[in-house]
Structure 1
Amino acid sequence: MSVKIENLDWMSYRELVENGKSKILIPVGAIEQHGPHMSLNPDVLIPQHIACQVAEHAGGMLVAPSIAYGYKSQVKSGGGNFFPGTTCVSSRSLEEYVYDIILAFVEHGNREFILINGHFENSMCLVEAADRVVKQARLSGKEVKVILLSYWDFISEATIGKVFPEGFSGWAVEHGGVLETSIMLKIHPELVDMSRAVDIPPAAFPPYDVFPPDPSWVPESGTLSSPSKATAEKGEWILDECIEKIATTFC
């Protein structure tokens, strides 16, 4: 039987979730440019893949349809909103949407949720939604638990050393770089064209933000570092570790 909720009929779903016996995994991403070499949806496809693999490995889990639209792309983490295709929502919209979805699942009988984030900028919006859900459920006499994680926090220094044998420039400039590109080469190689990858030095930003954002801060490619050394093998190393650790931690 599928671990994806949208692939189940309602009676099978009801049986799987009654009395809160299934944990619900909710991938949350964004539609955002990732350079000329890659599709707009890595932030959706990566957490979705991880969620499905975790559910398959751990058992007792179901995967909700992914939330594709995320909070506004920021210059120093996602290149900003200057690029055609980057399609983001406000913090209020994302918070309310996630809040409503989880409460709907609570009404089905579900009591434990794991939000798997694939877009850095989403983090505080998801914190607010989770906090409100728990409080609202408690007012209705229901005890609900929401876990929020970002998959990259499960990547060890040892794996980083393997992926970046010449040195790691840091998470801040990994947008569209080796990590995301390697994972996409592993799970969706048809959405990556390495012949279009732009080899650039890591972006350098001042220690402050400016509004309105300044497009000149962002490399023309939209990537904040070079993806040129990405490989499917590196993607496999990253995914294997993330999936194993998440499944072991929350099974």
Structure 2
Amino acid sequence: MKAVALVAAAVLAASPSLVGAQQGSESVFLEELTWTEVRDLVQDGYTSVIIATGGTEQKGPHMVDGEHRFVLEYTTDRIARLVGNTLVAPIVTYVPEGSWENPRGHMAMAGTITLPEPWFVEMLEHAARSLAAGGFTDILFIGDSGGNQRGMQQVVAALNESWQGTGRRAHFIGDYYGKSGDDIRSWMVDELGVDPDDIGGHAGMTDTSQQMFVNPAHIRLSEMAPGGGFEGSGVSGDPTRASAALGEGQLRIKIDNAVAQIRESLGVSGPTPDPDRRLPKPELTPFSEATGGPFIERLTWTEIRDAIADGATTAIVPVGGTEQNGPHMVLGKHNYIITHAAELMAEALGNTLVAPTLAYVPEGDHQRPGFGDKPGVITNPGSSYEQVLEAAARSLRVHGITDILFIGDSGGNQAGMQAVADRLNREWAGTGTTVYALTDYYRKGQEHTRAWLMARHGYTPEEIGSHAGIMDTSQVLYVYPEGIRMEKAAPFGGFEDSGVRGDPTKATADIGRMGVRFKVNAGLEQYRELRGEGGRR
């Protein structure tokens, strides 16, 4: 063990600083960019985009269910910068994890959410076609979990067959997972002398080390034990031998293998360039014995299991989106607002969990000029979107959730939520599980905010607007101020087809706080009404 620690420490000390996620206009993440920033980057040659698939699955009693997402947030940022001219789509957190009809393996453990492979493939294909409509020519698929690989390969094959002669290509970057897994094991066994049994597989030394490096707050030290400490823990190997230094070395292997395969697939030659801007390593927060609030991604499966046993049988499924919001506001507007609102609702209700936010939702037709083909916009049409909602609900029900609440921050989300709720409630009638489509969160929340702005501030309906105007801009100023470029704000966007309806220059964080409160209160009121006799679910 001493030799392992010394070598790993040397790797950490010798490694140049890896690039952490950037915010604002220097980010590579679509969610953190405006559609006009993406448009300009595409015109400047940023024509490659990564679609990264993670998952929401058990990682033993010592590590949070969102481990794959948090690793990918780090690695995709670095990969995009090393490849150059590459951006990153929102990380996919709903992936194949088994069956809800016969829950075994990961699906037998609380918090795991599965999306059947055919539905997973369909969603990815829509995402790729959306990005291609916005000007991207090379779509790069990277997955941090073994269960994602086959589906991504299927998508790449289908896309390349249909894109022949168009100048568009899809690429399966399997070396990030497959080759890297072999290389990491060889490095640890052959060079560091680690016993293969200690390395193990799922949630063992490798997974734990990587999470220790990217975010040690997601590790529960007191719950770490060889093999997880009990039968059925979900752990293979000895996570107590993990370290952040080992994690950095492992992530370097994954990043280097992905960059090499991407460059080969794109036909890029010459030395690998350094990123344009270097940032320090991720800020290493302390190891945590605390839980991650109501968010399933930030809880371990045993914490989720125990919470449900103690009465947390309500779960919120937040629905956001990735859409154009004018030149002054980022594409991920809805994701930031709805995630914050879901946390507020969970706190108000008590005994409530929050599933990962859906970032791929209906946003128009990517084949038709207009809203859906703006650079960076991702649309997941009705039937595919409804499949993701259904999968989330069915997965949560397996683990003992009885009240499943859909809340959506965009008008285009509402019909699908209601359709899935109606369909599942017919199927589950009399079983004790109910799905609630809380459409008042959006509809009445907007109405109340609009009325308050007119009465309190004297704004006209035209000034308030209906999209990316005072209300939306204010709410992002409140929950995620980095997502606003106020110097770019102008009445109605300042140019035709900007995507702005209203005057965002009048937005304030205080208005945003009230707007979010109106939405949350409307959603809570509807839920309480629907739980009573005669309420429409």
Q: TM-score, normalised by structure 1?
A: 0.81
1:149 matched residue in structure 2: 438
RMSD: 2.7
Give the greater-gyration-radius structure (CA).
2
1:229 matched residue in structure 2: 506
2:337 matched residue in structure 1: 46
Matched-pair contact (CA < 8 Å) for 2:364–2:381: no
Bigger mean CA deviation after superposition, 19-28 or 176-185 = 19-28
> Are the structure 2 counterparts of residues 162 and 42 from structure 1 closer, same or farther at C-alpha, using a change threshold of 3 Å?
farther
Structure 1 residue 168 corresponds to structure 2 residue 461: yes
| C-alpha separation in 1, matches of 2:463 and 2:407 | 21
Bigger mean CA deviation after superposition, 159-168 or 142-151 = 159-168
Matched-pair contact (CA < 8 Å) for 1:70–1:119: no
Amino acid at match of 1:167: T
Matched-pair contact (CA < 8 Å) for 1:19–1:110: no
Match of 2:491 among 178, 199, 205: 199
Note the C-alpha offset of 1:189.
0.6
| C-alpha separation in 1, matches of 2:294 and 2:522 | 19
Note the C-alpha offset of 1:47.
1.3
Q: TM-score, normalised by structure 2?
A: 0.40
**1:64-111 per-position Cα deviation (integer Å, ceiling 9, x unaligned):** 11011111337xxxx621311111011110011111110111111111
Note the C-alpha offset of 1:38.
0.8
1:188 matched residue in structure 2: 480
**Residue segments in structure 1 that go unaligned for 5+ positions in a row:** 203-217
> Are the structure 2 counterparts of residues 250 and 91 from structure 1 closer, same or farther at C-alpha, using a change threshold of 3 Å?
closer
Amino acid at match of 2:515: I
> Are the structure 2 counterparts of residues 13 and 201 from structure 1 closer, same or farther at C-alpha, using a change threshold of 3 Å?
closer
| C-alpha separation in 1, matches of 2:525 and 2:424 | 25
Amino acid at match of 1:166: Y
Note the C-alpha offset of 1:248.
5.6
How many residue pairs were aligned? 230
1:240 matched residue in structure 2: 517
| C-alpha separation in 1, matches of 2:463 and 2:385 | 27
Give the 3-state SS of the residue equivalent to 1:36 in structure 2.
coil
Structure 1 residue 96 corresponds to structure 2 residue 380: no
Matched-pair contact (CA < 8 Å) for 2:428–2:434: no
Matched-pair contact (CA < 8 Å) for 1:55–1:247: no
Amino acid at match of 1:38: M
Note the C-alpha offset of 1:165.
1.3
| C-alpha separation in 2, matches of 1:109 and 1:72 | 32
| C-alpha separation in 1, matches of 2:402 and 2:456 | 37
Note the C-alpha offset of 1:223.
1.3
Give the 3-state SS of the residue equivalent to 1:70 in structure 2.
coil
